[in-house]
């Protein structure tokens, strides 16, 4: 299983970024996927999840209305569109696979892509 995030960088407050996660070595279309973030020196915070076919999504309250999760199963790629970015969105963003075992079990994590929101 490989998960490779990209798209992070420095953005001004109020700006936008689109993160991507290229998945390989497993049947991407069969798994729910998540984004989890970690601010520098802080703990893990769940951001969003998406069902196998994209028909169901959910978000943490802190990003609802600003972030949009999506996927392209033909390209084996997960996305996170981030709009109206704030300083508190600064974090390392992980792309994570949900194993499909009862409830949520996050069995594979990417290396993360760093998003810095600053003027």
Partner 1 sequence: SYELTQPPSVSVSAGQTAIITCSGDKLRNKYACWYQQKPGQSPVLVIYQNSKRPSGIPERFSGSNSGNTATLTISGTQAKDEADYYCQTWDSSNVVFGGGTKLTVL
| The one among 94, 113, 115, 117 contacting partner 1 by CB under 8 A | 94
Among 6, 15, 66, 109, binds partner 1 (CB under 8 A): 109
- State the CB neighbour count (10 A cutoff) for residue 19: 23
Listed residue (75, 79, 41) closest to 57, CA to CA: 79
Q: Is 110 in the site for partner 1 (CB under 8 A)?
A: yes
The smaller minimum CB distance to partner 1, of residues 28 and 94, is found at 94
Beta-ladder partners of 72: 77
User: How crowded is the C-beta side of 1, counted as CA atoms within 13 Å?
Assistant: 14
Judged by the rule CB under 8 A, the positions of this chain that interact with partner 1 are 34, 36, 43-46, 49, 58, 60-61, 94, 99, 101-107, 109-112
């Amino acid at each position: 299983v490989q998960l490779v995030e990209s798209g992070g960088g420095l953005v001004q407050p109020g700006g936008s970024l689109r993160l991507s996660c290229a998945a390989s070595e497993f049947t991407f279309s069969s798994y729910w996927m998540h984004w989890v973030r970690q601010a520098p020196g802080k703990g893990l915070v769940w951001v969003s999840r998406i069902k196998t076919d994209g028909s169901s999504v959910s978000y943490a309250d802190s990003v609802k209305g600003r972030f949009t999760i999506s996927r392209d199963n033909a390209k084996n790629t997960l996305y996170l569109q981030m709009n109206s970015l704030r300083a508190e969105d600064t974090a390392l963003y992980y792309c994570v696979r949900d194993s499909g075992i009862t409830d949520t079990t996050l069995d594979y994590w990417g290396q993360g892509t760093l998003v810095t929101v600053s003027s």
